[in-house]
Amino acid sequence: MPDQAGNVVLAAHRDTFFRPLRKIHKGDAIELTPWNGSHTYRVESVHVVGPNDIGVLEPTSECKLTLLTCYPF
């Protein structure tokens, strides 16, 4: 769940919900608003990974948000 320890991973298509990610930069804020309240994350890094690079899906002990989409936009 957002705002708890662990890696929250969300995936969406680059031409729909995640289209704004084409302009994302380190330091930008991302706000999630699930049923239990609003949670803000800060962008620490932006990476292009290959389709077999599943390391970005690994669990973490910290609060982390990972967004996945197709590239290029």
73 vs 62: CA distance, rounded Å: 29
Query: Is 13 considered catalytic here?
Result: yes
Q: Are strands 63-68 and 6-11 parallel, antiparallel or unpaired?
A: parallel
Q: Which one is catalytic: 25, 39, 63, 70?
A: 70
**Of the candidates 1, 14, 12, 13, the residue with the CA atom closest to the CA atom of residue 65:** 1
Give the catalytic positions in this structure. Answer: 13, 70
